Structure 1
Amino acid sequence: MDYIHDFALEIAERTNSGQDVNEGPLYQEFIKDRQAFQYTESEVFTPRVRGLWDVFHRNWWKRLWVIQEVALAKQPTLLCGLKAEAFHNLKIVIEALIRSKQPVEVLEFNTLFIAHTFHQFHVRHMIETGTMSTVSPPGVKALDMLNATRNAQATDPRDKIYGILGFFGPPETDPENIFPEPDYKKPAAELYADVSRAIIVSTKKLDVMSSCYGFFKSSVPDLPSWAASWNDTPVQYFDVKAFNAAGSSNAVYEGSDNKLLMRIKGRVVDSVKHPGQIPESIGYSNGACIELWRYWWKFASVLDSYPTGEAVSDVFKDTLCWGNSVDYTRLQIGDNKESFDAWLKILVGTDDTGTAAKHIFNGEESFKYAHRATSVTWGRNMGITDKGYLAMVPIVTKAEDKIVIFQGSKLPFIVRTEDGLSRLGGPCYVRGMMDGEFATEDAEAMDELEWFTLK
């Protein structure tokens, strides 16, 4: 706790005097053992940094119900043992650690270090800056708040909804409150479906479905594939708002007597022809990622050309990053070229898996690309479509699964239909389909749309 206080003072003093925060002795102590941490974890830290790690990993940070205590308090104070520290000083430390103007590999370490505390500071920042005060249309604030608190924990999954109602006024006076009244007799699956539907109806967009992976088993029994599970960590690692697959269209939906079904309109634009082969068990260690990436590179290299006219290697570079940079902004032409080239040179070299992993994850340039690619690799596979596109798809995608662009969606989706009912497999990344190239916006093209009854 004393280290937090002294660290905040150092950051403030160096910032006010125009000195580089990175060169401060306490900051240097903080990042000194970051590379050793990758292999031996927190035991390598000095006693003070280890103490900071312990404070930031207390279970208190993980609890959903305390987020509003921090976010809505005028001057919150953190108490630990016999020590107390103004929350403002913690904010100074956190913001300094995750500021963008520092090397990617340092930012990665810092982000991991403070990960458990992030939603506390993120939600309070949203309140302080007013980004949550006036949002139009209704439903946007609800989705933003649900996403911001998603990794917080609650014993009852229904409290992932009810535990954030303190940020909203009564439904009759607050148009942003699109939530149902608390009802602990209602199953979590039905509650999550009600909230997901309310967000779709209010926003007329399908952003809420962008984290839905219906082929994965949810911790919420009987959850529909189209309803977001706020009780599970999303397999995302990209900014949904960076894409615009369906152009400016709005969602077209119908009600159903069955609350667990959702009828929406979309267009089948392609099908998965060849999903890559995936081992039965993947540990996602550095070595496992190397083996997977080597296979995917060979898998993608069978394409002689690409429908957009781009080089297959450029498409691969973009696809394995889901079109986003390390700070989750949209990749621009030429971005990641140096780091990708350094990564690829080692990947296709003659080193064995272990040696290649050390060179890639310890190399200053190659690590930048590897770090971004690793986050997207989790839970996903690479596939080739009937039309010759390269796609990043949910890991259990099968051949003949459809690629659908729903009206009002920012991403294409993998959809599997059996006996008239469809299951949403999850969003996919397809270079050449992410910016409205297959959007259905004019009246004549509306005939190409079809109804999907999602279960």
Structure 2
Amino acid sequence: MPWAELEAFLDTDRYIDRYGVPDAFHGHFSHEMSIRTHFGDSVVYPHILAHQRRAVKGGGNEYGASLLDVLARFRHAGATDARDKVFGLLGLCSDTLGIQSNYSLSIRDVYIDCSVKLIKHHGNLDLLCQGPWELLGNEGRNPELPSWCPDYAHAGESRILFAQRDIYASGPELPQVPFAILSSGALVLDGFAVDDIAVVRGPVGADTIPGPPFSPGVQTALLWMPDSLLREGIDQGHDDLASFLKYDNVPSRHCHTDNRLEEYWRTLTLDCMRMPSRRLREKELVTLRGVFQRWLVAPFDSYLTSFEDPGFTETKISFTGSGSGDFDPLHAAYHGWHFAVSRTGLYCMVPRVAKPGDHIAVLPGAKVPVLLRPRDAHSLTFEWVGACYVHGFMDGEALQPNNGIAKGRRYEIA
């Protein structure tokens, strides 16, 4: 079938107008899950080719033909030689960043060189913090690669915080990220040590759920909730919350807002509205403080429509994950993120592969904090775990003098 007829059948232009073109941070059909579910690869792959044809014909500016965009767009495509997941796509890029095909190089050397050039070109660590390639936990990943380097031949399942680039600004924004690559392939940066993870609340299993009258989403929020917050509800007369007590020693500290419950629900929500994702505004925080205080006494589910709804202040909160409104407290949880508490009591949302002992760091060029895993108890070398949300450290607080927690240090990430 001629391409013109195929694109007419796919109605490519209309879909681009509606969903945009997939790039380094947006999947095909953007957030429209129904299309991906019902049609799957039979529609996705022809559209990928159609998008790339637009990029090539249009010079790449409008449709995204940067090296990072092209690598991401074709990350699930096959290649007989894994080096062609970089070399084989160079002809489609508007800028190859000086990469030249050289098959005398190993896969490891090709991928490290490509990643280094991308970091230098973009001047940030988005490739690692928000990239579409899964790092730790990727079963198909090449074991010869450093933990921080994407395996361009095995994308895995990346679970980025958000596609938007400007929601958070935890690390220093610099024209160039100051880093070094050792002969071992280790990435060396000077950053800020924030804390270590003490407790991770993993996925909620059926055997741990107390059951009715609480909906599954509410059960997750209560099972993750620290005992100190549950006791607030119990003290206000909601004795049913006692079934959610864990009787563990979750660290506590003086919080940023003088309201520990607020820190909890703002952590679950990643401090954001959706979709498109954006930070909560002060007028919304004022409303939600009252809503969540009432919810703790009567934590049941009902639909939330919109902050523009005049009856919003009378509306309870939906933990259904149905996307019925513009505020979904468990959106991150439904996408594989887990709640965690640091040793000093910071509330966090962390990747599913996180575990106690993982180290929270703020790095130059990283818009979000990251988790690093010490190689051993006494090692100064770390492995990359992934990006995370740490309440109170998403807007450059680690850079402020006398913040009481973060300390400057050097990281060697193997």
Task: Give the TM-score normalised by structure 1.
Answer: 0.60
Instruction: Give me the identity figure in percent.
Output: 19
Aligned to 2:412: 453
> Of the two structures, which has the highest relative contact order with CA contacts closer than 8 Å and spacing of 6 or more?
2
Aligned to 2:367: 410
Matched residue of 2:385: which SS?
strand
The code of the aligned residue for 2:191 comes to G
CA distance in 1, matches of 2:178, 2:189: 6
Decide whether aligned partners of structure 1 residues 363 and 206 sit closer, same or farther in structure 2, where only a CA change above 3 A counts. Answer: closer
Q: Give how far 1:423 is off.
A: 0.5
Check whether the contact 1:213–1:425 (CA below 8 A) recurs between aligned residues.
Answer: no
Check whether the contact 2:253–2:344 (CA below 8 A) recurs between aligned residues.
Answer: no
CA distance in 2, matches of 1:345, 1:156: 56
Which of 359, 374, 386 aligns to 1:426? It is: 386
Instruction: Pick which of 219-228 and 150-159 moved more.
Output: 150-159
Decide whether aligned partners of structure 1 residues 359 and 335 sit closer, same or farther in structure 2, where only a CA change above 3 A counts. Answer: closer
CA distance in 2, matches of 1:335, 1:393: 25
Decide whether aligned partners of structure 1 residues 453 and 372 sit closer, same or farther in structure 2, where only a CA change above 3 A counts. Answer: same
Give CA-to-partner distance per residue, 1:172-223, whole Å, 9 cap, x none. Answer: xxxx312533344544333222211122233332121114764313423222
Q: Does 1:238 align with 2:162?
A: yes
Q: Structure 2: any 5+ residue segments left out of the alignment?
A: 22-30, 208-214, 231-250, 303-317
Matched residue of 2:115: which SS?
helix
The code of the aligned residue for 1:408 comes to G
Aligned to 2:127: 208
CA distance in 2, matches of 1:191, 1:185: 10
CA distance in 2, matches of 1:166, 1:279: 47
* Equivalences for residues 52-91 of structure 1 within 5 A: 76-79=3-6, 86=8, 89-91=11-13
Aligned to 1:319: 267
Give CA-to-partner distance per residue, 1:31-90, whole Å, 9 cap, x none. Answer: xxxxxxxxxxxxxxxxxxxxxxxxxxxxxxxxxxxxxxxxxxxx94354xxxxx526733
CA distance in 2, matches of 1:163, 1:263: 30
Task: Give the TM-score normalised by structure 2.
Answer: 0.66
Decide whether aligned partners of structure 1 residues 438 and 163 sit closer, same or farther in structure 2, where only a CA change above 3 A counts. Answer: same
CA distance in 1, matches of 2:354, 2:103: 35
Check whether the contact 2:66–2:93 (CA below 8 A) recurs between aligned residues.
Answer: no
Check whether the contact 1:266–1:452 (CA below 8 A) recurs between aligned residues.
Answer: yes
The code of the aligned residue for 1:224 comes to P
The code of the aligned residue for 2:361 comes to V
Give CA-to-partner distance per residue, 1:362-405, whole Å, 9 cap, x none. Answer: 6945x9627833553x1x32111233221111223232321111
Check whether the contact 1:213–1:427 (CA below 8 A) recurs between aligned residues.
Answer: no
CA distance in 1, matches of 2:357, 2:127: 25
Give CA-to-partner distance per residue, 1:299-337, whole Å, 9 cap, x none. Answer: 683688763216444444443343454434323226697
Check whether the contact 1:247–1:439 (CA below 8 A) recurs between aligned residues.
Answer: yes
Aligned to 1:227: 149
Aligned to 1:254: 180
Aligned to 2:96: 177
Instruction: Pick which of 382-391 and 198-207 moved more.
Output: 198-207
Q: Does 1:373 align with 2:332?
A: yes
Check whether the contact 1:214–1:224 (CA below 8 A) recurs between aligned residues.
Answer: no
Decide whether aligned partners of structure 1 residues 245 and 78 sit closer, same or farther in structure 2, where only a CA change above 3 A counts. Answer: farther
Check whether the contact 2:197–2:340 (CA below 8 A) recurs between aligned residues.
Answer: yes
Aligned to 2:229: 301
CA distance in 1, matches of 2:84, 2:206: 33
CA-based RMSD of the aligned residues comes to 4.5
Aligned to 2:74: 149
Q: Give how far 1:227 is off.
A: 0.8
Q: Alignment length, in residue pairs?
A: 341
The code of the aligned residue for 1:205 comes to N
Q: Does 1:132 align with 2:61?
A: yes
Q: Structure 1: any 5+ residue segments left out of the alignment?
A: 2-74, 80-84, 100-105, 170-175, 352-357, 442-446
Check whether the contact 1:225–1:423 (CA below 8 A) recurs between aligned residues.
Answer: yes
* Equivalences for residues 390-409 of structure 1 within 5 A: 390-409=347-366
Decide whether aligned partners of structure 1 residues 393 and 162 sit closer, same or farther in structure 2, where only a CA change above 3 A counts. Answer: same
CA distance in 1, matches of 2:52, 2:271: 27
